[in-house]
């Protein structure tokens, strides 16, 4: 079987001032014409002799008659991406460049070009040629007069060498690219591994405690980043788990409120409610560790938090530290996440404990203050307004100026290795800032430390003071509410609770279904109560924004057990639409939130401190 001719010919350039040389080289390299090949094949069949094989290499030959012209052709070939593989260059080409100069110029443009220098050694000797050109394996000397077979062999060998060189360069470029890509992957993996090691080291330092009870309490306010697996697990179970807790919590609350179950039954139902609250707290802690939780902003009374601290701090602090918790008689409400505010005070209490190893006294109090000249605080976050001021004072060792200037830096600590993560005070700073406030610190070595946390008050003046809640009977309503929740049992509880208190309801299990209900009852719905994370390709936020675009006066109450990243932005989570219920919630808390949203009065429906919405 005869070999096939290559589909793409090699490009050759002949640079010689003698046209006859061009013709001779073309005759040698062009190969026999097709009629001659056909005749040779017929002769082979008649006489039984093998026919000559057609050439397996073809050449596309260009001509130039001076060195400058040849250089222009090489430049153009390189520019168009069709470079020459081989150039036959005559040594003597008057009146322009000679072959030595031409070859140097050609290699300056294309270093891979193979060159056959044709010479009779009348102008330059072999030694002179080698002396004028750089050492290279891309040059072959062809002595005139040349033999046709020698020209053919040189052309085949050098073009093949050029081809292999090009393939090698392309392979090396690909290899370099792969090496660079793999090196980048390894570098990224190494950085991830280093960060994971650092994170694990920080987490291990945070949980180094002697007593199991202290260990459990301190984990509530240490917001060190946990392993990514914990974050993924929390995000995966939080939504569905909180839906289940909501059904248990909700129906238990309805039974406690509406059914005559007796004293023993009430205690049992209350135990169920308390247990679901503890389970919800556990999920919230997991989400906080993985930074996948939202702020549960509610109007809150700091006295409720102080009552909780009065029970927790004696177990957290040693017996040689005295504790005082006080508030002024006239105390304002604040819009805040109660769990985070409690975490701030716990962090500062533990910080005070560590500053008083031999005992001392810790004072925590709350009061209302009006800041008229905020620039006096020397804090860029300070502003003029009415604030709730939380003061935490210890009689410990105090801090020097150089330490005081760095205490809010993440991971900065003056404690020994394994005795702290350096995150406690940075969390205090961040939480205060999230709530629109700031932190001021006063301390001197040996004179103790005083932390002042300023949080914006919800109101000021005697006419808007904290009042007792309206009775549950005042939470009745006749408005029409669209309830959107993908979990059927939870949706049934929501609808049942609303209908039991006079509301008219329509229900839907997804965003698209809610749009259908909206279209069917256009103009009848006053409030949208929607879960935030739902199937069907539409979140609660997207649904609310669609309906608000059609009816700007629509009231919106959002609810979720887990806000995925990206849902915190947008008008639904803004101050204008701030009504949000974190699952699980008590039935009366849901009713109070709905009435607050419908009536736009957050003060009348706040629960009593010992009420069922606590």
The three-class DSSP label of residue 474 is: helix
Contact 595, 475 (CB under 8 A): yes
Neighbours of 277 (CB within 10 A): 16
212 pLDDT more than 80:
no
The three-class DSSP label of residue 370 is: strand
Question: Which is higher by pLDDT, 262 or 464?
Answer: 262
Query: Residue ranges per domain, the chain?
Result: 10-171, 302-465, 472-599
Average pLDDT, the chain: 77
Number of Cα atoms under 13 Å in the Cβ half of residue 336:
28
Number of Cα atoms under 13 Å in the Cβ half of residue 363:
12
Question: Would you say the CATH fold of 472-599 matches that of 302-465?
Answer: no
Question: Which is higher by pLDDT, 60 or 419?
Answer: 60
Predicted pLDDT of residue 384: 61
Contact 367, 389 (CB under 8 A): yes
Which two tokens mark 310? 């009065």
Q: Is the peptide bond before 499 cis (omega within 30 degrees of 0)?
A: no
Q: What is the pLDDT of residues 332-382, one digit of tens each?
A: 888 888 888 888 898 888 888 888 888 899 999 998 887 766 666 656 666
Closest CA to 87 of 153, 12, 156: 12
CATH code for residues 10-171: 3.40.50.2300
Predicted pLDDT of residue 35: 42
The single residue listed with the structure tokens 């202290």 is 214
608 pLDDT more than 60:
no
325 pLDDT more than 80:
yes
169 pLDDT more than 50:
yes
Task: Please give the C-alpha separations between residue 138 and each of 179, 460, 481, in angstroms, as whole numbers.
Answer: 29, 91, 86
Helix axes 587-599, 488-500, angle to 10 degrees: 60
Q: What is the pLDDT of residues 516-533, one digit of tens each?
A: 999 999 989 999 999 888
Closest CA to 395 of 352, 424, 428: 352
547 pLDDT more than 90:
yes
Q: Domain 302-465 classified CATH 3.30.420.40? A: no
Predicted pLDDT of residue 216: 46
Work out the average pLDDT over 156-185.
88
CATH class of 472-599: alpha beta
């Amino acid at each position: 079987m005869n070999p096939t001719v290559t589909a793409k010919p090699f490009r050759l350039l002949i640079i010689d001032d003698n046209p006859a040389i061009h013709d001779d080289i073309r005759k040698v390299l062009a190969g026999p014409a097709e009629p001659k090949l056909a005749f040779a094949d017929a002769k082979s069949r008649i006489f039984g002799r093998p026919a000559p094989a057609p050439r397996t290499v073809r050449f596309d030959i260009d001509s130039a008659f001076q060195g400058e012209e040849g250089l222009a052709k090489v430049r153009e070939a390189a520019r168009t991406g069709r470079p020459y593989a081989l150039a036959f260059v005559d040594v003597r080409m008057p009146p322009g460049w000679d072959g030595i100069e031409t070859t140097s110029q050609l290699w300056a443009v294309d270093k891979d070009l193979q060159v056959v220098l044709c010479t009779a050694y009348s102008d330059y000797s072999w030694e002179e040629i080698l002396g004028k050109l750089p050492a290279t394996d891309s040059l072959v000397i062809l002595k005139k007069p040349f033999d046709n077979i020698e020209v053919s062999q040189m052309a085949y060998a050098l073009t093949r060498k050029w081809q292999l060189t090009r393939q090698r360069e392309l392979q090396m470029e690909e290899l370099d690219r792969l090496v660079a890509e793999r090196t980048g992957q390894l570098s990224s993996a190494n950085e991830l591994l280093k960060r994971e090691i650092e994170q694990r080291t920080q987490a291990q330092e945070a949980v180094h405690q002697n007593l199991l009870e202290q260990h459990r309490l301190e984990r509530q306010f240490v917001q060190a980043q946990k392993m990514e697996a914990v974050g993924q697990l929390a995000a995966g179970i939080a939504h569905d788990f909180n839906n289940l807790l909501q059904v248990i919590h909700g129906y238990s609350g309805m039974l406690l409120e509406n059914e005559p179950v007796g004293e023993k039954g009430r205690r049992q139902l209350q135990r169920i409610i308390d247990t679901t609250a503890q389970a919800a707290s556990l999920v919230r802690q997991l989400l906080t560790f993985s930074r996948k939780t939202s702020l549960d902003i509610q109007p809150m009374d700091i006295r409720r938090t102080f009552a909780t601290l009065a029970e927790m701090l004696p177990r957290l602090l040693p017996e040689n530290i005295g504790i005082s918790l006080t508030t002024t008689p006239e105390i304002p409400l604040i819009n805040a996440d109660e769990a985070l505010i409690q975490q701030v005070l716990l962090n500062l209490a533990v910080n005070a404990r560590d500053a008083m190893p031999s005992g001392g006294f810790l004072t925590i109090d709350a009061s209302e203050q009006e800041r008229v000249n905020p620039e006096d605080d020397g804090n860029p976050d300070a502003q003029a307004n009415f604030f709730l001021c939380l003061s935490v004072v210890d009689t410990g060792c105090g801090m020097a100026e150089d330490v005081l200037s760095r205490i809010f830096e993440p991971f900065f600590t003056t404690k020994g290795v394994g005795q702290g993560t350096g995150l406690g005070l940075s969390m205090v700073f961040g939480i205060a800032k999230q709530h629109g406030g700031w932190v001021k610190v006063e301390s001197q070595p040996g004179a103790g430390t005083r932390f002042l946390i300023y949080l914006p008050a919800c109101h000021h003046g005697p006419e808007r003071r904290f009042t007792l809640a309206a009775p549950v009977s005042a939470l009745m309503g006749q408005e029409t509410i669209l309830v959107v929740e993908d979990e059927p049992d939870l949706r049934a509880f929501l609808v049942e609770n609303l209908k039991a208190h006079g509301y008219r309801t329509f229900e839907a299990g997804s965003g698209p279904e809610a749009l259908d209900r909206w279209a069917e009852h256009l103009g009848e719905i006053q409030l949208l109560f929607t879960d935030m994370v739902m199937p069907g390709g539409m979140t609660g936020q997207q649904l609310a924004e669609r309906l608000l675009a059609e009816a700007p006066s629509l009231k919106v109450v959002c609810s979720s057990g887990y806000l995925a990243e990206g849902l915190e932005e947008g008008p639904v989570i803004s101050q204008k639409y701030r009504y949000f219920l974190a699952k699980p919630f008590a039935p009366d808390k849901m009713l109070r939130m709905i009435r607050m949203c419908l009536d736009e009065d957050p003060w009348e429906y706040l629960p009593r401190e010992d009420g069922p919405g606590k």
